[in-house]
Structure 1
Amino acid sequence: MSAANLPRALAAEALGSLALLATVVGSGIMGVALSDGNDGIALLANAAATAGILVVLISVLGPLSGAHFNPAVSLVMALRGDLPWRHFAAYVPAQVAGAVAGVLLAHAMFDLELLQPGTRVRSGPSQWLSEGVATAGLLLTILLALRHRPAAIPGLVAAYLFAAYWFTASTSFANPAVTVARSLTRSFAGIQPADVPGFVLAQLAGALLALAVAGYLLPAPPGTPQQGAR
């Protein structure tokens, strides 16, 4: 990606993160309202809406920025040499800012208090393990698909995260920017701010594990020059 294209890429990352969080938080609020407080139905609505918007966002914004919307994804791409470190340093603030704006937008659409620190407790070894597993699975899905099925990435990522909503105890945040933003809502999708560091550390550990596993499963073809960080 050239320096001239970086502003468009950052706009795409911010816009995609905004839309993703507006969907995650908004669908959680709507799911609880329509299900009369049934958490199972609310989670189903939340997972389905998130999977659906991811297919759209990755498909339309991927050509502009890679459609990371996730600092863990950007970190792994930088470590692989696929994203220059100076671009990584710009991607992360754009992702976090967009995610926070998405939460505020969801609150505004449902006529709720805009700023409301989360109160939902999400802490402990099972939650941290779940986030590590969720993030490792997400990154492995992306890295393996990049080699074998790049055109299928939007659907594969959406399908994986839909499943991970249900098989992880944490409901699969799998994204540091999402985690920070969701600490600003007391809705169904929220997390209390004190629990954010544990989630983020687990997510980064999962991302690095996925990078190592993918490196073993997908060795570089013979004669391929090794990429360096740009």
Structure 2
Amino acid sequence: MTTERAQTCFFEKDPTCSLASRALAEGVGTCLLMLVAAGSGLSVHRLFPNSPVLALAVSAAGIAGSLAGLIVAFGSASGGHFNPLISGLQWLGGERKLRCALAYIAAQLVGAVLGVLLAHAVFGTPVHLAHPQVPSWSLVASELIASFGLLMVVFGCARGARKEVGPFAVGAWLFGAIIAMPSTSYANPAITCAALLANGSIGLNSTTAGLYLLAELAGALLAYPVFTVIYPQRHPEVASFKRRCRVTDRGER
């Protein structure tokens, strides 16, 4: 392993660890992230029922802070994605094998569902398909922009910053995007799917979730060529280690 590679954001420190253990890290991290996202929505509704601006800021701080902490905690084990868009674009860029990306995405989806169920169990509230309203196109466009921005920050850090920077850069972007974007910046298909079961401000109905999923995918696909142009080539030692990730990962054989 090269020192350069060990300092890279959003890639596991040791790709020879079993795929099961790395996927478990992604599942647990996503579960805890969704627990905070759903729990903060329920909590601020109780604490600040007449102050939506304050409620939004508090919720954004909780989600962004928890995500930064989770990336620090699990980044060395799995890369700390907790988001199918990140795992999928790493596969698209040849940085991760398809089997690994699919295992990560499956773990993220399961983890998010478990997280929302756990949040409602803690608060003693029922889960349900929430909010019958269909979103406006401005909300869908907002979700596309939020996803584009998130992926730019993630891959900008992964290709151009030290390992320690990534968690806090992503947390800072998410805090700002939740407040600035009218869709409140889900920017994560696992969270969006699990929000179908959520009460509170994070809850979505099936139509809204479907449109948001399309917008998130479009935002990610738009971000991919942009950050590829900005960072067209990695350090040769990093590229060599990435090839090792694809070839020697015994968990994917």
Structure 1 residue 120: Cα displacement: 5.8
Q: Which residue of 1 aligns with 2:45?
A: 32
**TM-score, normalising length: structure 1:** 0.93
The equivalent position to 1:154 in structure 2, one of 167, 172, 197, is: 167
Asked whether the equivalents of residues 42 and 199 of structure 2 are also in contact (C-alpha less than 8 Å), the reply is no
What amino acid maps onto 2:117 in structure 1? L
Identity percentage of aligned residues? 36
Give runs of ≥4 in structure 1 deviating > 4 Å: 221-230
Could you list the per-position Cα deviations for residues 180-215 of structure 1 after superposition, in whole angstroms to 9, with x for gaps in the alignment?
001111211111122111101110111111111001
The equivalent position to 1:126 in structure 2, one of 108, 124, 138, is: 138
1:58/1:183 CA distance change after superposition, 3 Å: same
In terms of mean alpha carbon deviation, does 121-130 or 169-178 score higher? 121-130
Q: In structure 2, the residue corresponding to 1:199 is in which secondary structure?
A: helix
Kindly report the root-mean-square deviation, in angstroms, between the aligned alpha carbons of the 2 structures.
2.0
Structure 1 residue 112: Cα displacement: 0.8
Q: In structure 1, the residue corresponding to 2:179 is in which secondary structure?
A: helix
Could you list the per-position Cα deviations for residues 112-137 of structure 1 after superposition, in whole angstroms to 9, with x for gaps in the alignment?
11x31121636231111111110111
Correspondence list, 1:60-209, <5 A: 60-113=73-126, 115-119=127-131, 121=133, 123-150=135-162, 151-209=164-222
Cα distance between partner residues in 2 of 1:122 and 1:43:
21
What amino acid maps onto 2:209 in structure 1? V
Could you list the per-position Cα deviations for residues 56-115 of structure 1 after superposition, in whole angstroms to 9, with x for gaps in the alignment?
1000101111111111111111111121101111111110110011101110111111x3
Correspondence list, 1:210-225, <5 A: 210-220=223-233
In terms of mean alpha carbon deviation, does 143-152 or 63-72 score higher? 143-152
**TM-score, normalising length: structure 2:** 0.84
**Gap runs ≥5 in structure 2:** 1-14, 247-253
1:184/1:148 CA distance change after superposition, 3 Å: same
**Gap runs ≥5 in structure 1:** none
Larger RCO of the pair (alpha carbons < 8 Å, separation 6+): 2
